[in-house]
Amino acid sequence: MATLHLVNKPAAWEGCHPLLDAQDAVLLIEDGVYLAQQALSGATFYALEPDIRARGLSQRIHTNIRPASFDDFVGLVEGCQRVVTWSA
Amino acid sequence: MLPETDKDGYLRNLDDWSPAVAEEIAQQSGIALTAAHWQVIELAQAFYRAYDLSPDMRPLVKWVRAKLGEEKGSSLYLLKLFPGSPARLAAKIAGLPRPPNCL
Amino acid sequence: MAKRILFLLNRAPYGSSYALEAIESILVAGVFDQEVSVLFTGAGLYQLLSEQDGGAIGGRTVGKMLGALPEYGVTELFACRPSAERLGLTDANLCLPVTWLDYAEQRRLIGRQDVVTG
């Protein structure tokens, strides 16, 4: 993984999407998890599971997006070369 | 009498500044202003007018060097004029806000 | 050891303190001799509009403050060309010279950084 992109609002997606590299990962957090209801392309996608559950979205997450625990979050941060936080 | 300042001695209202106020602030800091001081004070004010920002040490040195040449554009020269923390002292005497980084 | 730091500015200048805080962070990075670059994208391009006057709302002028970046050793200023086209902005509208980048160039710019921040 080259860059980990953190997206915490649906509106931030517009800025993030064009700058994704195929080797990047995107972690949707907070209100960003609402984006996980659709197929997203351009990178590998994760969505923070507690944020999904809190919002009642568990049954609505698209199959190409992987749920991530807080431990997974830490692992993603450790495994990347840099983190970009997107907020609109 | 000195116009209102904050707890660190910077003027609250930049419009209150005058050369006489500068003399007074300088005196309180133990500095008697000379022509050399005034050159730097005026350059700090010009920097502020250009950028809406009080210069920190590094940009002040750079700015002074660009306008007054190598000899005066050095930390040592500014330290002699404004001992301790030149950017902060010069800003205070020039009636400008505290520089952002204060290094 | 100097780090390569990219400031990615994507928010408009006066609606929040975001732009002012970002400028202060950039100046600190410059003072500490880091390899700093700045990318203006989306509404962040509005920070570069000429003829801003923050004094009209009792504040400082973001465009003028950005002019100080070269004084702090920050000279790598980039801007997103697709954003500018979308917003109808060209060099003629901006108060500072920037290097325009398309998306592929921005991806490469990000890929060269140690740190990317807002």
Which candidate in B36, B66, B76, B102 is catalytic? B102
Name every residue whose Cβ is closer than 8 Å to that of residue C104 and which is 6 or more positions away in sequence: none
> What is the reported pLDDT for B103?
46
> Considering only alpha carbons, which residue of chain A is nearest residue C107?
A19
Domain count, chain C: 1
Q: Which domain holds residue C9?
A: 4-117
Residue B63 · residue B47 · CB < 8 Å: yes
Q: How far is B53 from chain C (nearest CA, A)?
A: 6
Pick the residue of C61, C64, C69, C71 with the most B CBs within 10 A to test the interface with B by mutation.
C71
Cβ contact C110–A88 (<8 Å): no
In this prediction the pTM is: 0.90
Determine the average pLDDT of the residues in C110-114.
Answer: 96
Cβ distance A84 to C110 under 8 Å?
yes
Q: Could you tell me which residues come within 8 angstroms of residue C9 by beta carbon, excluding any fewer than 6 positions away?
A: C19, C22, C38, C39, C40, C41, C44, C47, C118
Averaged pLDDT, C5-13: 96
pLDDT tens column, B4-38: 889 888 998 888 999 999 999 999 999 999 999 99
Q: What are the structural domains, with CATH classification, of chain A?
A: 3-86 (3.40.1260.10)
Whether B10 and B97 have beta carbons less than 8 Å apart is answered as yes
pLDDT given at position B2 = 81
Cβ atoms of residues B13 and B4 within 8 Å:
yes
Q: What is the CATH number of domain B14-93?
A: 1.10.10.370
Residues from C contacting B (CB-CB < 8 Å) are: 24, 27-28, 30-31, 54, 60-61, 64-65, 67-68, 71-73
Please enumerate in sequence order all residues whose Cβ is within 8 A of that of A53, keeping only pairs 6 or more positions apart, or say none. Answer: none
The torsion angles phi and psi of A82, rounded to 5 degrees, stand at: -160, 155
* CATH number for the domain harbouring residue C86: 3.40.1260.10
Which of A14, A82, A88 is the closest to C113 by Cβ?
A: A82
Half-sphere exposure (CA, 13 Å, Cβ side) for C48?
29
What are the structural domain ranges in chain B? 14-93
Catalytic-residue membership of B2:
no
Q: What is the pLDDT of residues C30-76, one digit of tens each?
A: 988 899 999 999 999 999 999 999 999 989 999 999 999 999 999 99
Nearest residue on chain C to B50, judged by CA atoms? C64
Q: Of A5, A8, A13, A19, which to mutate for an interface test with C (greatest number of C Cβ within 10 Å)? A: A19
B66-102 exposure pattern, b = at least 16 Cβ within 10 A, e = fewer: eeeeeebbeeebbeebbeebbbbbbbbbbbbbebbbe
Chains that touch B (3 or more CB pairs under 8 A): C
Q: Chain C residues with CB inside 8 Å of A21's CB? A: 107, 110-111
Q: How confident is the model at residue B102 (pLDDT cuts 50, 70, 90)?
A: low
Report yes or no: B94 and B22 within 8 Å, Cβ to Cβ: yes
Query: β-strands C99-101, C35-40: how paired?
Result: unpaired
Cβ atoms < 10 Å from Cβ of C96: 17
Contacts (Cβ under 8 Å, ≥6 apart) of A70: A48, A50
